[in-house]
């Protein structure tokens, strides 16, 4: 006689509701993961565009599901407009899942041994041939001028938008 499994499947088990304070604490801890809402919208538009669909078909052989970007945009908007902590938590969980998916190959890598510290000789001088090759580069000349005090350090004119 076969035994029957009396345990309820995970989908039927009662879920423990998180209190509002628990949700707020999680959001406060990880709210730095939430991007600007416009970025989620831009990702959704790019994912659903003709160009994006063509790229997906070329790379994966099929189109991808872009609904998560839309959900993230909607939840981000709820968070920004109404301070909806459950919506913020949904965006945070989505970002964590996206990060884990991106780093999955890194964590599964068993080919290379990970180091605990840098090699002993990581700061040794460069070989003579490399120093000779790079001595007349723009970067080397500017570094030399800076060491000699001929040029004052200026603030960078780069801007990240």
- Measured over all CA atoms, what is the biggest interatomic distance in the chain, rounded to whole angstroms? 91
- For the chain, the domain total comes to 1
User: Considering only CA atoms, which of 97, 99, 122, 96 is closest in space to residue 31?
Assistant: 96
User: Does 124 reside within a domain?
Assistant: no
Contact present, 96 and 33 (Cβ < 8 Å): yes
User: Does 44 reside within a domain?
Assistant: yes
User: Does 127 reside within a domain?
Assistant: no
Q: Which structural domain, as residue segments, surrounds residue 91?
A: 20-107
Helix runs in 49-127, H state only: 50-60, 67-82, 85-108
Q: pLDDT digits over 103-126, tens only?
A: 999 999 889 888 899 999 999 998
- pLDDT for the residue 22: 84
Most confident of 39-53, 130-144, 145-159: 39-53
User: Does 67 reside within a domain?
Assistant: yes
Burial of 44 (0-12, 13-18, 19+ CB in 10 A): buried
User: Does 134 reside within a domain?
Assistant: no
Average pLDDT score over the chain: 86
User: Does 96 reside within a domain?
Assistant: yes
Q: pLDDT digits over 139-158, tens only?
A: 988 888 888 888 765 666 67
**Long-range contacts of residues 68-76, Cβ cutoff 8 Å, at least 24 apart:** 68/94, 69/40, 69/41, 69/43, 69/44, 70/40, 70/44, 72/40, 73/37, 73/40, 73/41, 73/44, 76/34, 76/35, 76/37, 76/40
């Amino acid at each position: 006689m076969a035994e029957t499994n009396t345990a309820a499947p995970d989908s039927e088990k009662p879920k423990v509701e998180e209190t509002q304070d628990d949700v707020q604490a999680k959001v406060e801890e990880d709210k730095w993961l939430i991007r600007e809402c416009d970025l989620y919208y831009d990702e959704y538009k790019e994912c659903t565009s003709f160009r994006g669909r063509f790229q997906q078909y070329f790379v994966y052989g099929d189109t991808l599901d872009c609904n998560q970007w839309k959900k993230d945009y909607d939840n981000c908007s709820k968070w920004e407009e109404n301070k909806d902590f459950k919506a913020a938590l949904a965006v945070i969980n989505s970002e964590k899942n996206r990060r884990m998916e991106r780093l999955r190959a890194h964590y599964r890598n068993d080919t290379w041994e990970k180091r605990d510290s840098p090699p002993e000789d990581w700061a040794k001088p460069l070989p003579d041939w490399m120093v000779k090759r790079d001595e007349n580069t723009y970067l080397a000349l500017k570094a030399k001028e800076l060491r000699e005090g001929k040029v004052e350090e200026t603030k960078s004119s780069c801007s990240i938008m």
